[in-house]
Amino acid sequence: MIAENFGVNCAAATPVGADGAPRLDLFATHCKALLNEGCHGVALLGTTGEANNFAVSERKALLEAALKAGVRGDQLLPGTSSCNVPETIDLTRHAVDHGARACVLLPPFYYKGISDEGLFRFYASVIEGVADDRLRVILYHIPQVTQVPISHDQIARLRAAFPGIVVGIKDSAGDIANMTAMIERFPGFAVLAGADPLLLPLLQAGGAGCITATSNLRSDALRVIWANWSDPDAAEKVTAAQERINGWRTLTNAYVQLPTVKAMLAKARGDMDWRNLRAPLVKLTDEETNAVWAEMDRLNA
């Protein structure tokens, strides 16, 4: 069995106005632009999308805004987790009913040191609660943030309990050895890189693609890597694309990543509302923003 081909997916940022309300129009336009610039799909409402700073109703409205603008459901990979099962079921069922390709599910992250049995019951309760064979789940492993790792044994148990539903994982831990071990142990399981520099080595190991923050800005370079990584004659092109994406990725980490990505989008998309964030996150200072914009000009030169 071959892992489902997920490709280049953007961990899309979520624009808000000065009042903190989601800019549905700006978000929909951004989603369409990402697809035109090289993304296969849009992974909305993840870490970069500030998902846990938005109400359930707002998260539903953002997904619906993308669809209303003409983005297809099978181009969307929404994050639908909450720290409680009922809200997670509600968001996940909403995404399935609107044709989402898959739902990206964080583990419940408030309580630390939870058992493997507890984590299994969370995921099982959501899947059983949605009760829809159309559901496809991508697990989200980001233990440096959640402090709740997803073990290989947990993956094995979930795949055995819910075959055809638990289809992949986004690994944002930055450990290529962990990713390649999952590829080897779980044939047909889609392993997706959460860090741009790891897309190429992951593809070479049999991975399924990526969900990354820098694709908000440089999905074109990631698409070049995706399309050409296995062609020996395109090695120089792939190397150049990887160097380009690495430079932009480094810039996104010049300050706190999410405010930096949004400052970069403000310049790239020409709308200063992109600089805004929901509390507790705060935007970059004008001085920091100008420094980031100057470096963007240098990288584009």
What is d(CA 4, CA 62) in angstroms, rounded to the nearest whole number? 26
Please calculate the CA angle 109-110-116 and round it to the nearest 5 degrees: 55
- Chain centre to alpha carbon of residue 275: 20
The verdict on whether 112 is a catalytic residue reads: no
Whole-angstrom Cα Rg for the chain: 18
Which residue intervals of 13-55 are DSSP H helices? 24-37
| Catalytic residue, candidates 110, 111, 112, 170 | 170
Signed CA dihedral, 36, 38, 41, 44: sign only: negative
Q: Coil, strand, or helix at residue 148?
A: coil
The verdict on whether 170 is a catalytic residue reads: yes
Tokens at residue 155, please?
């993956």
Instruction: Note the residue count of the chain.
Output: 301
| Catalytic residue, candidates 32, 111, 112, 140 | 140
What is d(CA 284, CA 112) in angstroms, rounded to the nearest whole number? 31
Q: Cβ distance 159 to 150 under 8 Å?
A: no
CA 166 to each of CA 38, 141, 186, 196, 276: distance values in angstroms, whole numbers, following the listed order? 26, 14, 12, 24, 35
What is d(CA 253, CA 193) in angstroms, rounded to the nearest whole number? 17
Tokens at residue 19, please?
């009042």
Task: Supply the DSSP symbol for 110.
Answer: S
**Bridge partners of residue 16, in order along the sequence:** 22
Catalytic machinery residues: 140, 170
